[in-house]
Amino acid sequence: MNELVIAPSILSADFAALGEDCRSVEHAGADWLHVDVMDGHFVPNLTIGPVVVESLRKASSMFLDCHLMVADPLEYGRRIAKAGADLVSFHLEAAMDPGAVIDGLRECGVQVGLVINPGRSPEEIFPYLERLDLVLVMSIWAGFGGQKFMDSAPGRIETLANQIQHRGLKTRLEVDGGINATTSRLVRDAGADTLVAGTAIFGQTDRLTAIQSLRA
């Protein structure tokens, strides 16, 4: 089993004090920064692009876990990789040929992840498993922070965890959406090793306690 990784989602940070907010979670023991890239097409929300990733790269040495919610994952994934991402993940639903996007991103020297929204079956990821560093299971519909965790998520995580174990892979299994001290237990029991949390971390002034309670 991989070590547990806590990845605060900066979508819930104060964008006018982003550097400071990133340092606060680093000092509080966070492992990665989760960066939500939305283009206003694939999801009805618009957020961070390559310019901000470039600034984050200069401001922090933390692992930048970039979650693309964009209609053209290869084009924007390349730009996000070039801007300094460590890992780029894209939605299965956004790619006509997911294998080609995986290859194209890998050529940019980043780790690669594949994401599924609640409407898609986890089995659809199986053909790509060997080629991925990470699988991200959404426990909400991608697009906005602060949504309620969906009860269907643990079962979907378990299906993927069993398959990863069965094939003897080291692929990380990440979960994103509505993660807090209660739901983190459910998803870890199901086999998730990488937890994204926005509201549960940046919504708290005591970020050390917030992160510790996700690890507990």
Instruction: Let me know if 36 is a catalytic residue.
Output: yes
Size of the site for ligand DX5 (CB under 6 A): 22
* Of the candidate residues 5, 34, 98, 102, the single one contacting ligand DX5 (CB under 6 A): 34
When asked if residue 109 is in the footprint of ligand DX5 (CB under 6 A), the reply is no
Neighbouring C-alpha atoms within 13 Å toward the C-beta of 1: 13
When asked if residue 147 is in the footprint of ligand DX5 (CB under 6 A), the reply is yes
> Of all residues in this chain, which one has the CB nearest to ligand DX5 in the complex?
198
C-beta atoms surrounding 15 within 10 Å: 11
When asked if residue 135 is in the footprint of ligand DX5 (CB under 6 A), the reply is no
Min. distance of Cβ 25 from Zn ion in angstroms? 15
Instruction: Let me know if 14 is a catalytic residue.
Output: no
Catalytic residues: 36, 176
- Chain contacts with ligand DX5 (rule: CB under 6 A): 9, 11-12, 34, 36, 67, 140, 142-147, 176-179, 196-200
